[in-house]
Structure 1
């Protein structure tokens, strides 16, 4: 974990105060006591620390919890010191912030995963009965209307946390049998009421998400300054809560903080905790996918969220002034709920965040469903032509995209959505080309920094061609010689697809089989890779585009997106957010 913003002595003093109830008057301490049942894992972790102090063998669950504790309690012997503090507190009797099922357990008795699983069902039902838990069917709420009831907002303010399950009408069977691809973008937030501290507020957001396909994301926004009652603030471009594939559900944690006392070391620690949350969110989403009953999934989600949140909330309380926290919300989005959200006007819904004296805000999220589309639908001018099947190459130059297939090519006008050069022999339309390149092409792409030049690949050879002057700039050359850093890679023998890296004047992406590489044509070096496409382009997971991509091309006017083609399908992919565009 990043450098800890508190000392070992300060952390021990905070734990001791929590266990004795001395911090109950603070906002953070009050929440810890109110959410007693959620502190099941926290209690298990402290119980495990006590067993470490006595050199007792740990259960598998206890070892995992001690490993997590070690990320926050970084000094030698600190975990054992926490264990002694816990033992002393439980010797005095019940501990108000911890479940009695933990504190009444003798230190000699380990706490195993089976013990946790036994307690979760009852805990789930308890959590679902609390006022800070809600289930929302988006289809039953009119567009523009708030998703949060007044009763639920009051419950969140009281507990300092909200748990929501977002659902929608059942998907049809065809949709259920494939993966969905979604992007949730942080669009803006509206300060309804500023905090009661002097001056305007400085606000930032902590975000973590994970889906049942193991797509994970965690980060913190920048600080937004001069936040006052009535002010509106738009998030920076590329601010995505989540972008990627979903089979049945994804879970997200959204936190809003005041930046008044948050130093750089705390920000780094918060990012580490959020990373841990995204891991747990992905695990929880996969666990829920194995259950049949929606009621069972809801209860299990509520329980899992609460026990993990209790542990991580305690972490933050030990390393910072948690009174800077306005509110935390954990949301499980079912795939049906995401699909319904994406059909709202602008894909937008609002979410309430309020923390009493800490201020009150409305967050606006926009949801889009990415699509693997038929080439004939997205490129209507190609309908009923042989080029609606992409088994060839493609390259964009200016407002035109050239599609190659066998010995022929066409030129497509991206503005008018028509073919303005009909199927023509490559030898006739590209007179400067010679030899193997007039028979067929394996891949093609723009030369970075030069819109009139393109690279063309076939087998182990490539050439550079000027589209405007219609002449070969670099004659047929072996890839291994002209792209020397590729010499000992699979890309030296052939390239399936190629595309200029959006926004770059030096780099291109090359694809082959299930791998890709990013190459710097200026320094003649590999910028990154070779990597598996599924790993480096996570938004493609679960689609046919993780192997044997047929072609790729630039998106005119975009410094972020590329088109990828395979067979009769294509996707528009956002390389910065790593997701398929709607």
Structure 2
């Protein structure tokens, strides 16, 4: 295993110095088999690493999505993933990858694509005001684990969708209408990545946008931690991130 510092610095370098508006973390999902480990997707949408939050180590170093998930090579997701999440209703979990107007479902245990790639609109009934969401989403997460409902984020708007019934359950509205605690923060303008914790029954979500992160409680509508720079809310990584020998660019 590799210590987190240099690799996560390269993964997150754009958060402090890159010219691209899509910087920092664009996705975060849990590993399907290893408890306490998470996939971080870098700001370019094509780079990922696997991080063990318990041991503070990188289990699989930064590399292309195609390197970590070879069956995705040749798909839009390998070139740039905009959003991802891991389902909870199966023991090993499935990963969903959203890339532009395309989506696919991947079984990381068997190493096969189960559904797609296909247009987002083929699997999710986004119609009327929600039609824009079929053109692409920025982030996806459940309001709380194991209930079949999901928040979809696009720009400064959100909707809630029931995957069991195949319908929108909460219509398109500004982010702050659903999560008023985001008002006055960078997250009110859009969310690049979101992850819902699964160890609590209520809704707590790690949010990522423009190099910042925060843990948001959607029951109390307040931040538990942050918003702050990624290094401030993940202090175990701070020394590594500022180490003088660390790299300064994402490895492509």
Deviation at 1:380, TM superposition (A): 7.4
Report the equivalent of 2:18. Answer: none
1:566 aligns with 2:212: no
Report the equivalent of 2:235. Answer: none
Q: Determine if contact 2:102/2:120 at 8 Å carries over to the other structure.
A: yes
Within-5 A mapping of 1:45-60 = none
Larger relative CO (CA 8 A, sep 6+): 1 or 2?
2
Report the equivalent of 1:411. Answer: 50
Q: Determine if contact 1:509/1:518 at 8 Å carries over to the other structure.
A: yes
Structure 2 counterpart of 1:395, from 3, 15, 29:
29
Report the equivalent of 1:575. Answer: 218
Report the equivalent of 2:180. Answer: 538
Deviation at 1:558, TM superposition (A): 2.8
Alpha-carbon distance in structure 2 between the residues aligned to 1:545 and 1:492:
21
Q: Determine if contact 1:392/1:442 at 8 Å carries over to the other structure.
A: yes
Alpha-carbon distance in structure 2 between the residues aligned to 1:431 and 1:447:
20
* Greater percentage in helix: 1
Report the equivalent of 1:438. Answer: 78
Structure 1 counterpart of 2:144, from 494, 502, 508:
502
Within-5 A mapping of 1:3-82 = none
Tell me how many residue pairs correspond in the alignment. Answer: 204
Q: Determine if contact 2:37/2:52 at 8 Å carries over to the other structure.
A: yes
Deviation at 1:556, TM superposition (A): 4.5
Secondary structure at 1:527's aligned position in 2?
strand
Alpha-carbon distance in structure 2 between the residues aligned to 1:550 and 1:479:
18
Alpha-carbon distance in structure 2 between the residues aligned to 1:511 and 1:564:
11
Distance 1:580 1:503, change over 3 A: same
Structure 2, unaligned runs of 5 or more? 16-23, 226-252
Q: Determine if contact 1:381/1:418 at 8 Å carries over to the other structure.
A: no
Q: Determine if contact 1:381/1:417 at 8 Å carries over to the other structure.
A: no
Alpha-carbon distance in structure 1 between the residues aligned to 2:8 and 2:133:
33
Instruction: Identify which range, 469-478 or 556-565, moves more after superposition.
Output: 556-565
Alpha-carbon distance in structure 2 between the residues aligned to 1:486 and 1:454:
24
Within-5 A mapping of 1:7-406 = 384-387=9-12, 389=15, 390-397=24-31, 398-405=35-42, 406=44
Deviation at 1:448, TM superposition (A): 4.6
Deviations 1:89-123 (A, max 9, x none): xxxxxxxxxxxxxxxxxxxxxxxxxxxxxxxxxxx
Name the larger-Rg structure. Answer: 1
Deviations 1:320-377 (A, max 9, x none): xxxxxxxxxxxxxxxxxxxxxxxxxxxxxxxxxxxxxxxxxxxxxxxxxxxxxxxxxx
Deviation at 1:499, TM superposition (A): 1.3
Normalised by the length of structure 2, the TM-score is: 0.74
Alpha-carbon distance in structure 2 between the residues aligned to 1:380 and 1:570:
18
Alpha-carbon distance in structure 2 between the residues aligned to 1:516 and 1:380:
34
Structure 2 counterpart of 1:465, from 106, 121, 124:
106
Secondary structure at 1:403's aligned position in 2?
strand
Deviation at 1:504, TM superposition (A): 3.5
Alpha-carbon distance in structure 2 between the residues aligned to 1:457 and 1:493:
10
Alpha-carbon distance in structure 2 between the residues aligned to 1:417 and 1:528:
38
Alpha-carbon distance in structure 2 between the residues aligned to 1:400 and 1:530:
32
Structure 1, unaligned runs of 5 or more? 1-378
Report the equivalent of 1:427. Answer: 66
Alpha-carbon distance in structure 2 between the residues aligned to 1:381 and 1:576:
36
Deviations 1:203-237 (A, max 9, x none): xxxxxxxxxxxxxxxxxxxxxxxxxxxxxxxxxxx
Distance 1:423 1:382, change over 3 A: closer
Q: Determine if contact 1:448/1:506 at 8 Å carries over to the other structure.
A: no
Distance 1:532 1:414, change over 3 A: same
Alpha-carbon distance in structure 1 between the residues aligned to 2:52 and 2:155:
30
Q: Determine if contact 1:496/1:549 at 8 Å carries over to the other structure.
A: yes
* Greater percentage in strand: 2
Deviation at 1:486, TM superposition (A): 4.6
Secondary structure at 1:402's aligned position in 2?
strand
